[in-house]
Structure 1
Amino acid sequence: MTDLRRRFVEQLRRNGAPLTPELAAAFAAVPRDVFVAEGFQRRDGSWARPGTAGFRAAVYRDDVLVTKIDGRVAVSSSSQPSLMAIMLDALAVRPGDRVLEIGAGTGYNAALLAALGARVTSVDVQADVAEQARAALAAAGVPGVRVLTGDGYTGVPGESFDRAIVTVGVAGVSPRWLAQTVPGPIVVPVEHAGTHPVLAVEGGAEGPVTATVICPSGFMSAAGPLTAAHPGSHPAPVPSGGLIGFVPFAPARWSPALDSYSYRDLWYAAGVWSRRATHAALPDRDLSGLVLLDDDGTGGAAILPDGAVLAGGEQAHRYGTTAVQIVDRWLEAGRPSMRSWRIGLELAGDPQAPIWVPATWELRPEHL
């Protein structure tokens, strides 16, 4: 293990990543820099390439690395390593397990799975992304991984797996994954209120299908039936400048403000109780967060981390009132974390390619 990778593992541990000895060894053994051989986009928009100053140090930080841009939209990346660790820990891979991965990305996640002893089949719809992942896996000398180009919705027809992991944001779970994965679970980021909380999903292709939340996250969205609209869909995230005329509606409810994880817990509950909850950049504030979006898509109400409510637009009073009620309800429920919910999924989406989507929620008995 190089000093750079040793410090990388220590950073992940400090950031709260659940590193078992096996998972720590995987992160120490797999060279992340090999999987970004074409470079990545820095946060300032410039492109970092191998051999340039600070390249390897940036690669071995606990940060997402965007590796492909379509116009101004990021379409492929290497996910934040601490999030990868959480998802891999939840997957509970055992040596010899057959793992279906939807979304090859750079190939780095598949390499970590292989280091844990899994036999991995990764499917990516982008042919160039799949080819680059194959090349990186070969360059890193990683055995036991095959990368296929295809529609992630279908999985790998005719094959079966012990586990499945999805590394792209989806609106719901393909029945094909459930049919191909026995006994499971499937670890998958599913859209909820403008974000993609990671779920542990269990059940058969014909149902019933249930899930619990592993952690908050935000992922690039898939294409096709995996992101089909359905009756429970929330509005898409609102970009900077999309909201106008927001002013204070209700004062702060607590001090100090909620930390990021507790705020995400409130956000999740808001998505359970309002179909209009989503993510938005807030006007006149260096902040993005939870918004209940009105029918016009430019107004509604925002709930801030300190419990204050802003509102704007023609329906400001209606949405401001609903936002205050959501904060009250969350407090009265004992500030439940997102992991306190048990989720029931139902078939919806494209009738020709249906998906299992979150439809019902209840607080688990241990929280009540």
Structure 2
Amino acid sequence: MADTRRHYLDLIRQDGVHLTPELAAAFATVPRELFVPTGFRRRDGGWVAPADPDFLATVYRNDVLVTKLNGDVPISSSSQPSLMAIMLRALDVRPGMRVLEIGAGTGYNAALLATLGAEVTSVDVQEDVAVRARAALDRAGITGVRVTAGDGYLGDPDARYDRIIVTVGVAGLSPHWFAQLAPDGLVIAPVEHAGHHPVLSVRPGDPATAAVVCSSGFMAAAGPLGARHAGSHPSSAGALPELAETAPARWSPPLTTVAYRDLWYAVGAWHRRATLATPADWDRTRLVLLDEAGSGGAAIQPDGSVHAGGPEAARCTAVATTLIDRWLELGRPEMRGWQVGLALDGDPAAPIWVPHTWQIVQGRAPR
């Protein structure tokens, strides 16, 4: 098991994640397998059970473990460990801090927080998920965590917190969280942007502002936290019809995954029809500018080429190439180089703080 845990830390670090000694100790000591006692779904769709010979090896991969589905749609999981590590580091937790977690999942993230010395309250809207997380924490002998079933939008009105971390994709942040946050506190949350959920580090203020921590993809929240608003991008377009190349490649080799996400973020900041889709015969999702009908548009490839289809193909191609030019002229700014201004929007009866303005505050060389 010691070798397995060491390999686990190596896998987390392979994504370029810096583990502080405290974070490394937490990941090395909290037994992840105890938080998936009935198994989980692997990426190929198969179910991994505790009796399977590769159970422990699969648990200690740097991968998401899906533990609950609604049909074929995942609705609860243990997140990818490298992403958890990035978010926990951004949270800047110190012993004795009070942390509110929105989305209990398996309880594993709360266990890591408690191991870092935090006093944790974890809120999950699903009663059965909260019950299982509570039982897993007990099995692992983790103290200092209180798991409750409730509406994450409301947070925990009876307490005040130094930090808030959100482990579900949201359209915006609840004003209740800001009211429950200490004056120098911050919120780490994955907030919808062009079909993904980049993680933001948010400090309340007038106005509230945020910095981008990293890219991510999370299960989307329902209710007020997932409400559409004036700046919402289209939902994932799913599968588009066949697209033809309408603008040639701009660079070689193609952008790395990280740099492509940087371009994706910039396009999403500049254009409200940006989202993700999987064009016919393509093996992965791409950044697309969806036309107004939602049945066609232009997809930007990592090599800078544009493929388009539908009645607005020419217009969408022109917009896409203009946005690529803009990104290049600005020196290919990284996702982390943006500052985001927030404004209240969403459901008037239950408003949320949503991304409203974007400003590049730091330009960096391409990676």
Same fold (TM over 0.5): yes
Deviations 1:102-127 (A, max 9, x none): 00000000000001000000000000
**Shift in Å at residue 156 of structure 1?**
0.3
Is the Cα–Cα contact under 8 Å of residues 173 and 225 in structure 2 kept in the other structure? yes
When the two structures are aligned, how many residues end up with a matched partner?
364
Instruction: Specify the code of the residue in structure 2 equivalent to 1:16.
Output: G
Task: Provide the residue aligned with 1:36 in structure 2.
Answer: 36
Alpha-carbon distance in structure 2 between the residues aligned to 1:61 and 1:203:
36
The unaligned stretches of length 5 or more in structure 2 are none
Instruction: Specify the code of the residue in structure 1 equivalent to 2:219.
Output: M
Is the Cα–Cα contact under 8 Å of residues 259 and 305 in structure 1 kept in the other structure? yes
Alpha-carbon distance in structure 1 between the residues aligned to 2:286 and 2:363:
29
Task: Provide the residue aligned with 1:109 in structure 2.
Answer: 109
When the two structures are superposed, what TM-score results if normalisation uses the length of structure 1?
0.97
In the alignment, is residue 4 of structure 1 matched against residue 28 of structure 2? no
Is the Cα–Cα contact under 8 Å of residues 99 and 121 in structure 1 kept in the other structure? yes
Task: Provide the residue aligned with 1:344 in structure 2.
Answer: 341
Instruction: For residue 218 of structure 1, give the secondary structure of its aligned residue in structure 2.
Output: coil
Instruction: Select the residue among 263, 266, 282 that pairs with 1:266.
Output: 263
Deviations 1:317-368 (A, max 9, x none): 1111000001000000110001111110000000010000000011116669
Deviations 1:241-271 (A, max 9, x none): x311310010000000000000000000000
Instruction: Specify the code of the residue in structure 2 equivalent to 1:194.
Output: G
Alpha-carbon distance in structure 2 between the residues aligned to 1:158 and 1:216:
32
Is the Cα–Cα contact under 8 Å of residues 245 and 299 in structure 1 kept in the other structure? no
Is the Cα–Cα contact under 8 Å of residues 90 and 213 in structure 2 kept in the other structure? yes
Task: Provide the residue aligned with 1:192 in structure 2.
Answer: 193
Instruction: For residue 240 of structure 2, give the secondary structure of its aligned residue in structure 1.
Output: coil
Alpha-carbon distance in structure 2 between the residues aligned to 1:365 and 1:92:
22
Alpha-carbon distance in structure 1 between the residues aligned to 2:4 and 2:263:
37
Task: Provide the residue aligned with 1:238 in structure 2.
Answer: 237
Task: Provide the residue aligned with 2:315 in structure 1.
Answer: 318
Deviations 1:156-188 (A, max 9, x none): 012100001000000001011111111221000
Instruction: For residue 194 of structure 2, give the secondary structure of its aligned residue in structure 1.
Output: coil
Task: Provide the residue aligned with 1:201 in structure 2.
Answer: 202
Q: How is 1:1-368 mapped onto 2 (pairs within 5 angstroms)?
A: 2-182=2-182, 183-204=184-205, 207-239=206-238, 242-364=239-361
RMSD, matched Cα: 1.2
Alpha-carbon distance in structure 2 between the residues aligned to 1:238 and 1:53:
39
Instruction: For residue 162 of structure 1, give the secondary structure of its aligned residue in structure 2.
Output: strand
Alpha-carbon distance in structure 2 between the residues aligned to 1:4 and 1:178:
40
Runs of 4+ that moved beyond 3 A: 365-368
Is the Cα–Cα contact under 8 Å of residues 330 and 336 in structure 1 kept in the other structure? yes
Alpha-carbon distance in structure 2 between the residues aligned to 1:44 and 1:54:
15
Alpha-carbon distance in structure 2 between the residues aligned to 1:339 and 1:365:
8
Deviations 1:269-321 (A, max 9, x none): 00011100001112222121100011121201000000000010001111110
When the two structures are superposed, what TM-score results if normalisation uses the length of structure 2?
0.97
The unaligned stretches of length 5 or more in structure 1 are none
Is the Cα–Cα contact under 8 Å of residues 245 and 313 in structure 1 kept in the other structure? no
Alpha-carbon distance in structure 1 between the residues aligned to 2:319 and 2:363:
28
Alpha-carbon distance in structure 2 between the residues aligned to 1:14 and 1:221:
27
Instruction: For residue 288 of structure 2, give the secondary structure of its aligned residue in structure 1.
Output: strand
Instruction: For residue 52 of structure 1, give the secondary structure of its aligned residue in structure 2.
Output: coil
